[in-house]
Structure 1
Amino acid sequence: MSKELSYTIEEVSQLLKVSKLTLYDLVKKGDLPVFRVGRQMRIDAKDLDDYIKKHKTNQNTTFAPSVAVPHKNETKGNIVISGQDLVLDILGKHIEKHSAYKPLRSFTGSLNSLISMYNGEGDIVSLHLFDGDTGEYNLPYIKKILVGYPFILINLLSRKAGFYVKKGNPLNLASWTDLKREDVKIINREKGSGARILLDEQLRINEIPTRNITGYEHEETNHLSVASAVSTGIADVGVGIEKAAKIIGIDFVPLITEQYDLVILKTPETEQLISTVKGILSSNQFQSEVNSIGGYDTSQIGKIIYETY
């Protein structure tokens, strides 16, 4: 082995026929020295040879899996949580408090975050993707996008989605079909967001061409910006969640109950992360903090919606 200058964790895993999880554990304990080239962790060939020689005569020494470190950045334990709901900030705080992970926040929309996960980016992705054909949330999209990847889908909460309208709802907007009225101007969300998917699916179900929707091309990138556009008169209506309407101080017309879930890929490296998230979601302290905000249904929090094996 010493003919090689150095190895990646993946290469050593293949050479020794052990999991990367085992190797990460040895690195954490200081039993196997490593160095880094950028973000990549490497093992010097001589250090690997020394480790093998040291343990050759010790018949009691075995490779035993232990706590995994996150795959995104092994040094600091960075993980990325995608989504915009403020409950994700509370989740991140609890993860940092109860584990070695350092949560980072991405405010990318649901569909774009799911695609990023397929491409190897993102650790916890929050989803509220409505499928008009089945009436289900999230799972139909995951099965189509995370092809070949094992994953777990866990419920975080349910919340109301619908229309942001001016105080008193002067245009009397009450259903999706009202959006095709000539006197109604909407403010849209960006492509790939859960609110945009919801709108587009409802327009498809109700056979309303997007060309008939005034303002359809005008996009904002978050719930608060959409609600603000309605509040200031830029638009008559926008699609989003109830919480933003209360923050901005406009009226809200509930149209659907969204299932808001978390998806995490199942790998040896994420085993501990999944366990940590499950523990947090089931804790009274976390649930109490979420419920104190108001406007959320946490009756199914922590429920495993789907899991591949």
Structure 2
Amino acid sequence: MEDILLSAQEVADMLKIARNTVYELIKRGELPSSKVGKQMRVHKQEVENYLSRTKNVSPSVAAIASATQDYPKTQPNIIPYPQPFIETTRGHEFIICGQDTSLDILISHLSINDDMLQIYRSYLGSYNGIYALYQGRVNVATSHLWDGDQNEYNVSYVKKMMPGIPTLIMRIGERMHGFYVKKGNPKGITGWKDLKRDDIIMVNREKGSGTRVLLDEKLRLSGIRCENIQGYTNEHKSHVAVAMAVSQGLADVALGSEAGHRKVGGVEFLPMQPECYDLIIHKADADKQPYRRILDIIGSSSFKRDLETLGGYNTSETGRIIW
């Protein structure tokens, strides 16, 4: 059994990719896996099947590998949870919810000082992440949900989605969101109203993600019906995935973060709106460990420096408690 059930590291060695890339492939459903105890295991035959499927076309591995190989440099014990809700209680497992690369940096910093802590990673989008925090399914949520009526990020959503629960929201950083288009922008896309053009096909993010909420709010305020947008129902679950769709000519435009397209060739970024990415915890947890450590890390100069090195982040308000 040990010969046929492989750990994430053994799979990474076979495919010659980073261990985080293996978790990305599992999360996307490209590499079936099983949970044995607290560890993810992949049947050796599934790895061989994956190699056979991608023998002639392997853009996803290359793109995901290049997008995830930089952080974290010291790999913590991270296990992704792709299912909509995490069936676990908040005990010895510590679950951080979110999809952004800044969380890889945060977990790396956290693991350096506490390698006994079992850190788990949920890849739920912003909306579902806050809901999971409300239900006690995760310890930490992150969000970049834009309220078009208030023209603010996250606070109004947390107030409504966590009624009666004192909450602390800390700014991780600001980043730019915009359109991914083919190099040279051959369709001449400049704004939100271009999405309803007959000659434009888009690729979308999944419901509940901050990117999807931003798009839907912009469409609502612009009076554009989603039914009139070609490709609106074509969903992918990461910035890299939608950028790849544009690069491969499967779509003319997608919405994502500035950093999300940098590892995908042939794609150009058109900035549309700065956004705020925030961390959310129960206020009652703020003085407990490891929550206190997390807040201290985000406010540290070393964390800000790593974010700036990663690129695409404004750290002027990083570490500030905004609510």
**Which residue type is aligned with residue 254 of structure 2?**
G
Aligned to 1:289: 306
Root-mean-square deviation (Å): 1.8
Question: What is the rounded CA distance, in whole Å, between the counterparts of 1:295 and 1:174 in structure 2?
Answer: 21
Aligned to 1:274: 291
Aligned to 1:81: 96
Aligned to 2:317: 300
**8 Å CA contact 1:96, 1:102 repeated in 2:** no
Secondary structure, counterpart of 1:140 in structure 2:
helix
Structure number with the bigger relative contact order (C-alpha 8 A, sep ≥ 6) is 1
- What are the Cα deviations for residues 275-299 of structure 1, in whole angstroms up to 9, with x where unaligned? 2112111222222211111111011
Secondary structure, counterpart of 1:305 in structure 2:
coil
Question: What is the rounded CA distance, in whole Å, between the counterparts of 2:208 and 2:299 in structure 1?
Answer: 30
Question: What is the rounded CA distance, in whole Å, between the counterparts of 1:237 and 1:224 in structure 2?
Answer: 13
Q: Does 1:151 align with 2:167?
A: yes
Pair 242,212 (structure 1): closer, same or farther in 2 beyond 3 Å: same
What TM-score does the superposition give when structure 1 sets the normalisation length? 0.73
Stretches of structure 1 lacking an aligned partner (at least 5 in a row) = 1-37, 39-70
Matches within 5 A, 1:1-309: 72-74=90-92, 78-99=93-114, 101-249=117-265, 250-267=267-284, 271-306=288-323
Pair 95,175 (structure 1): closer, same or farther in 2 beyond 3 Å: same
Question: What is the rounded CA distance, in whole Å, between the counterparts of 1:174 and 1:92 in structure 2?
Answer: 37
Secondary structure, counterpart of 1:156 in structure 2:
strand
Secondary structure, counterpart of 2:94 in structure 1:
strand
Overall identity of the aligned pairs, in %? 42
**8 Å CA contact 1:82, 1:122 repeated in 2:** yes
**Which residue type is aligned with residue 191 of structure 1?**
K
Q: Indicate the structure (1 or 2) with the bigger Cα radius of gyration.
A: 1
Question: What is the rounded CA distance, in whole Å, between the counterparts of 2:234 and 2:242 in structure 1?
Answer: 10
Pair 268,204 (structure 1): closer, same or farther in 2 beyond 3 Å: closer
- What are the Cα deviations for residues 37-72 of structure 1, in whole angstroms up to 9, with x where unaligned? x9xxxxxxxxxxxxxxxxxxxxxxxxxxxxxxxx72
What TM-score does the superposition give when structure 2 sets the normalisation length? 0.70
**8 Å CA contact 2:285, 2:291 repeated in 1:** no
**8 Å CA contact 1:95, 1:103 repeated in 2:** no
**Which residue type is aligned with residue 93 of structure 1?**
S
Secondary structure, counterpart of 1:271 in structure 2:
coil
**Which residue type is aligned with residue 269 of structure 2?**
F
Question: What is the rounded CA distance, in whole Å, between the counterparts of 2:286 and 2:155 in structure 1?
Answer: 23
Aligned residues: 235
How far apart are 1:270 and its partner, in Å?
A: 6.5
Secondary structure, counterpart of 2:168 in structure 1:
strand
How far apart are 1:149 and its partner, in Å?
A: 1.1
Question: What is the rounded CA distance, in whole Å, between the counterparts of 1:101 and 1:269 in structure 2?
Answer: 17
Stretches of structure 2 lacking an aligned partner (at least 5 in a row) = 1-36, 38-88
**Which residue type is aligned with residue 80 of structure 1?**
I
